Structure 1
Amino acid sequence: MIFLILIAVTIIILFNQFRKVKHLPPGPFPLPLIGNIHQLAYQAWRHKGIVAALSYFRRKYGNVYTLWLGPVVTVSITDYEISHEAFVKNGRKCIDRQLSPILKKVSDGHGIQFNNGEEWAELRRFTLLAFRKLGVGNGLEGIVMEELNGRCSELNSEISLNGKAIVTVELFDLTVGSVINTLLVGKRFDENTKSDFLIIKRLFDASAETFNLFDLSVPVWFLKTFLPRRYKMTWESRQNFLSHVSREAEERLERMKTGNYEIDKNDPRDFVDVFLLKMQEEKGKGESGNPSYSIESLKILLYDLWLAGQGTTSTTLYAGFVKLVQHPEVILKIREELAKVTQNARDLSLQDRRNTPYLNATIAEIQRHASILNVNFWRLNHETIDLQGYQIEPGTWISAQLGALHVNEELFENPKKFDPERFLRNEKLLQQIIPFGIGKRSCVGEQIARTELYLVIGNILLRYDVKAHGPCDLEEDEFPFSSAKLPDISGKFEFVKL
C-alpha cells in the first residue's frame, strides 16, 4: 500500500512539473525534489566554474533558459535586449529580490540590498537624493582626486627612495575604501586608521567562500545545525563588518543627544548627517513619522552601501590593472589619448570623458572581464510576464546572469580576448555591459563607481609607467563556484614616475 502511495505521489509530482515546464523557456528536464541541481553541479565541475556552467546551458538552450533549484523554478537571461524587456519594460512586475535567508537575518528587515517592500523603496529614494545633495557627480570628483593624490604622495615618497614603488591590491582597497568612507562618514583612511580597515576587509573577503548558491539559499537553521563553521564564518564576518562601518553613526547620534554635535541643515558634511537630519524630521512628526528612519536602518544602510561600493570597485580596479600590464599596447594608446586631452599639463577630469573614447572603451572591457558577479541576485515576479513568447508565472525566480551575459559570443566576438576596440567598432556594445545590474534594482552606487574607475585609471596612467612585478597572469577565480568573483590578488605592480 505504501509503495502504491509513493508511486502515485511521484506521478503527480512529475505530471505537475511537466505541466509547468511546457510554459517555461527550455532547459534540462528536472527531477522530483532536486530539480536540475545535479546537472548544474556536474556542469560546474566539468567546466570548472559556475559561469562556465551557465554558459553551457545558454549554448544548449538559448539566451533564456530554465533551471530548477530543487522545487524552485528559475529563469536565467544572458542577453541584454531580453534583460531590458524583463527588468525595464516589466520592471514593476519583478521589483522584489529573492532574499537569501542568512543575509535577510543579517539585515533584519532593513536596508536596500537584502530587503523588499515599502522600506526598501523609501530608503532607495532617500539614498539617491542624499547622494545628489552631497554632490555625487561632479562634486565627487574632488573627493576622489584628493584621495588619489594622497595615495600618490605615498607612492612618490617610495619612488624617490627606491626608484620605483611596488604596488599591491592594498592601493585600490584603500583608495576606494577612503572615498566611500569620506562620502558616508566624512573620514578618509590615514596611516593611523588604515590598519583597522584592512583587517575588516580581509575578514570580509575570507567569507567569500560561503557566498554561493548553496549557502545563500538554505534555511538558517540548516546552516546552524549541519554546517556550523560556515554559518559562523558568514555571520561573524558580516557582524564585524557591520559594527565597523556603523560605529561613527552610533557615536554621532549619542553626541547629538547630549548636545555635543550639531548638523548644519544647509550643509551636511556626509551621508550620516543627511540621514540623522531625516531621523530628526520624522521623529518630530510623532506617530505620522516614517519608521524607516531609525538608527538600525542607518546601520544596515551603511553596511549595504559599503558592500556595494567598496569591494566590487576595488576588485575591478585591481583586475583592470592586471589586464593593462598584460597588454602594454593598450596602456600606450590610452596615454597617447590622454596626452592630447590634457597636454600633459593637468589632471584628467570628468569633463574629459567625451574626448577619451579609447579610455572609455578600455574601462568597459575591464568591467566585462572583471564581471564581479558569477551568479546575479534573483528577482521575484508578482504578475505573469510574457517573455519571448513564454508565460513566466508569478513566484518565478528571474535573473539577468551578468557573468554569462558578458562572455556571450553572440554579443562579444571572441569573448576571452581583451579587446577595447570592440566598443569602438560597435558603440552599441557599450550599453550591453551592465555590471551594475539593470532596472529598478540596479546598484545605487553606479555613478560613484564609474567616477572612481575613470579618474583612478586615467590619472594613474598619466602619472606612472605601470608594469607587472613578478607573476601577474591571474585569470583564475579564487572561488569559481561562488556567487561573487574573487580573483587571485597576490599580484604586484611596479610604478615609476613618468
Structure 2
Amino acid sequence: MILLLSFCLLLIFWIISNFRKGSNLPPGPTPLPLIGNIHQLIYLIWKLNGIVPTLDFYRKKYGNAYTIWLGPMPTVNITDYEMAHEIFVKNGKKCQDRQLAPVLEHISGGHGILAANGENWAEMRRFTLLSFRKMGVGSGLMEKKIMAELDGRCSELDAEIDKNGKVTVPVDFFDLTVGSVINSLLVGKRFDENSKDEFLKIKKMFDDSSETFNLFDLNVPVWFLKWVLPWRFRITWDARQNILSHVGKEAVERFQKLKDGTYDLDSEEPKDLVDCFLAKMRSENEKGQDGHPGYNMDALKLVLHDLWLAGQGTTATSLYVGFLKLVTHPSVILKIQKELLKITQGSRDLTLQDRPNTPYLNATIAEIQRFTSVLNVNFWRINDELISFRGFQVPAGTMMTAQIGALHVNEQLFENPDEFDPERFLRNEKLLQQLIPFGIGKRSCVGEQLARSELYLVLGNLLLRYDIRAHGALPTNMDVFPYSSAKLPDTSGKFEFRKIQKT
C-alpha cells in the first residue's frame, strides 16, 4: 500500500513538474508519463510510412513550431525558415551545442566535429574551414580536382560506350566519383581499380547501419544497447570503426614517416587535410603547455571520419536521387541541356564561373536537394539560455532543431511539395534562401562549399556530355528504412548513358 501510494505521489509530481516545464513551450500532442509521445510516434511512422510524413502531420496539426516529448525530454521542432532563422541564427550563440547521441559520443569520446561540443568542436571546425581554404575549396584549385575525378570516371564510361554504343551506370558510379573527391581532399588518394572494392565494402556496411540511426538507438544509454540489444550496438560500432580504420590508415603511416624523417611537411602548400593537421599538431606541440591539447592522432582520425562520412554520403545520394528524378522528367533534362549548350557552345566543360548564367540548372539542383533532404530527423541542439520567440519560451537545456525534411515539404513555403518542379525557384527566388539542405546557424555543414561545387560540376557536365535515360524499371521506394533518422533510398536503380554527338 505504501509503495502504491509512493508511486502515485511520484506520478502526480512528475505530471505537475512536466506541465510547468511545458506550459510555455509550443503546442504538441499530450505526453504520457515516462514515455512521452513515443507510442504515438511509433504508430504514426508505421501508419504514414516514414518520419518526415509524421513530422509533417504534427506541423499541420499544431503549427510550424511544436513540441514532441521523447520520454521525459521535450523537443521543440521548427518547420518554417523565418522561425528557424530567428532561433538558430539570431540566437545562434545560445544553441550551438548538439544533443550528442550516447552511442556516437561513446565512439568519438566527444572529439571530432559531428559528435562533439564546446571548445573541442569549435577548434576543429575552425581548423577544418581554414584548411579547406588552404587546399582551394571554393576556388579554381578544387574545381580542377573535381573535374579531374569526373574526367577519370567518364573515360571509363566512354571506353564502354565506344564498344557498345551505351553503358549501364549503377549507383556505384556516383559513390566512387564523390568518394574519390573527398578521399583526395582528406588523404590525397583517389579510388582506383585496386582500392574501389574496399571503399564499396565500407560504404555498404555504413548503409546497412542506417537502420540503427534512429530516434531509439540514438537516444537510449549505451549500456542498454550493449546488454539488451548487443547486435544493434555492434552494427553501429563496426561501421564507424571500419571508416575510422580506412581514413586513419594513411594518417598513421604518414605520422610514422614524419617521426622517422622520411616525410616532409609543407604547411604553406599542404597536400591534403592530413598534412594540414600534422603541421598544426607539430606547431601546437612545440608550444608545450600553451599548445592546444586537441591536436593528436585520435582527434585526427575522428575529424577524417566525420568529414568522410558527411562529405561522401550526402552528395552521392543527392546525385543518385537527382538522376532518378531527371530521367522521369525528360523535359527538365532538355531545358538544362539547352541552357548549357548556349553557355558553352558545346566546345568546353561547364565551370563554376558559369553559375550566374545557368539559372535553370541552379533551380534544378535546388529542387533535387529539396526533394532529397538526406536527414529525416535533424540533429538536435541544446540551448544554454532561455530562448523566447513568437510568444513561446524555451527554457535552457531543451532539445531544439529545424526539421529540414519537414520544412522542405511545407506547402506554405513550397507549393505542391510532392511535385518535382525546378521552376518554383525561378518563380520565387526567395525560395532559394528558404532551402536549407546543409542546415542553418553555427552547426551547418562544414563541407557546404565543396558539396555545392560537386553537385554543380558533376550533374551539369554529365548532362552536357551524355544522353541519360533509365535502364529498366526505376525504384519507387525513396526511403528503405522509414524509421531511420537518415534517408537511404533504394539504390537498385540504373541509368543508360550515351554520348551526345557534338556538331
The root-mean-square deviation of aligned C-alpha atoms, in Å, is: 0.8
Q: How far apart, CA to CA, are the structure 1 residues paired with 2:120 and 2:89?
A: 21
8 Å Cα contact 1:166-1:493 kept in structure 2: yes
Match of 1:419 among 421, 435, 444: 421
For residues 264-343 of structure 1, the aligned pairs below 5 Å read 264-343=266-345
Q: How does 1:66-465 map to 2 (within 5 A)?
A: 66-138=67-139, 139-465=141-467
Three-state SS of the structure 2 residue aligned to 1:335 is: helix
Name the SS for the 1:398 alignment partner.
strand
Distance (Å, rounded) in 2 between the aligned partners of 1:57 and 1:423: 26
Contact 1:477 1:487 in 2 (8 A): yes
Partner AA of 1:254 in structure 2:
Q
Matched residues in 1 for 2:290 and 2:478: separation? Answer: 53
One-letter code of the match for 2:12?
I
Tell me if structure 2 keeps the 8 A contact 1:376–1:399.
yes
What's the TM-score, normalizing by structure 1? 0.99
User: 1: CA distance between counterparts of 2:353 and 2:413?
Assistant: 30
Length, aligned pairs only: 498
Deviation string, structure 1 residues 357-409 (Cα, Å, up to 9, x no partner): 00000000000000000000000000000021101000100010001000011
Determine the C-alpha separation between the residues in 1 that align with 2:291 and 2:266: 22
User: Aligned partner of 2:306: which letter?
Assistant: D
Q: Residues 300-351 of structure 1, C-alpha deviation per residue, up to 9 Å, x if partnerless? A: 0000001110011000100000000010000000000001110111000000
TM-score by length of 2: 0.98
Deviation at 1:15, TM superposition (A): 1.3
Which amino acid in 1 is paired with 2:311?
G
- Contact 1:474-1:491 at 8 Å conserved across structures: no
Conserved? CA contact 2:475–2:492, under 8 Å: no
Contact 1:250 1:295 (8 Å CA) reproduced: yes
- Tell me, yes or no, if the aligned pair for 2:79 and 2:407 is still in contact at 8 Å: yes
Matches of 1:295 and 1:21 in 2, distance apart? Answer: 44
Deviations 1:162-203 (A, max 9, x none): 110100000000000000011111111111111111111111
User: Over residues 70-94 of structure 1, what are the superposed CA-to-partner deviations in whole Å (9 max), with x where a residue is unaligned?
Assistant: 0001000001110101100000000
Report the more deviating stretch, 263-272 or 306-315: 263-272
What is the one-letter code of the residue matched to 2:261? G
Distance 1:472 1:360 in 2: 25
Cα distance in 2 for residues equivalent to 1:257 and 1:419: 56
Give the secondary-structure state (helix, strand or coil) at the position aligned to 2:160.
helix
In structure 2, what is the equivalent of residue 2 of structure 1?
Answer: 3
Distance in 2, Cα, partners of 1:366 & 1:313: 11
Q: Give the drift of 1:233.
A: 0.8
The verdict on how the C-alpha distance between 1:236 and 1:473 changes in structure 2, with shifts beyond 3 A counting, is closer
Listed one character per residue, the Cα deviations across residues 75-131 of structure 1 (whole Å, up to 9, x for unaligned) are 000011101011000000001000001100111121011000111101100100000
Residue type matched to 2:15 in 1?
Answer: L
Displacement of 1:473? 4.0
- The answer to whether the Cα contact below 8 Å between 1:322 and 1:474 also exists between their aligned partners in 2 is no
In 2: Cα distance, 1:234 partner to 1:43 partner:
25
In structure 2, the residue corresponding to 1:27 is in which secondary structure? Answer: coil
Gaps of 5+ in 2: none
1:57 is matched with: 58
Q: Distance in 2 between matches of 1:186 and 1:9?
A: 59
Is 1:23 paired with 2:24?
yes
SS of alignment partner, residue 213 of structure 1: coil
What is the CA distance between 1:10 and its match in structure 2? 1.6
Which stretch shifts more, 235-244 or 261-270? 261-270
Contact (CA 8 Å) 2:475, 2:490: kept in 1 or not?
no
User: Of 490, 494, 497, which aligns to 1:495?
Assistant: 497
Provide, for residues 240-262 of structure 1, a one-character-per-residue CA deviation record: whole Å limited to 9, x for no partner.
Answer: 11100111000000000000100
Q: Which residue of 2 aligns with 1:36?
A: 37
Please tell me the residue identity of whatever aligns with 1:483: S
Moved more, 181-190 or 370-379: 181-190
Q: Is the 8 A contact 2:214 2:485 kept in 1?
A: yes
Matches of 2:18 and 2:286, distance apart in 1 = 54
Deviation at 1:263, TM superposition (A): 1.2
AA in 2 matched with 1:481 = Y
Deviation at 1:19, TM superposition (A): 1.6
The Cα shift of 1:21 comes to 2.2
Moved more, 263-272 or 403-412: 263-272
Say if 1:147 and 1:175, in contact at 8 Å, map to a contact too.
yes
Output the CA distance in 2 between the equivalents of 1:345 and 1:400: 43
| Superposed CA offset, 1:267-298 (max 9, x none) | 11111101100011001111111111111110
Name the CA distance, whole Å, in 2 between partners of 1:473 and 1:491.
6
Secondary structure of 1:217's counterpart equals coil
Q: What is the CA distance between 1:2 and its match in structure 2?
A: 2.6
Provide the rounded CA distance (Å) in 1 between the counterparts of 2:467 and 2:151: 16
**Aligned-partner Cα distance in 2 for 1:104–1:265:** 31
Displacement after TM superposition at 1:431 (Å) = 0.9
- Distance in 1 (CA, whole Å) between partners of 2:38 and 2:221 is 17
Taking the aligned partners of 1:80 and 1:453, their CA distance within structure 2 comes to: 23
Of all paired residues, the percent bearing the same amino acid is 65
Q: After TM superposition, give the deviation of residue 236 of structure 1 in Å.
A: 1.0
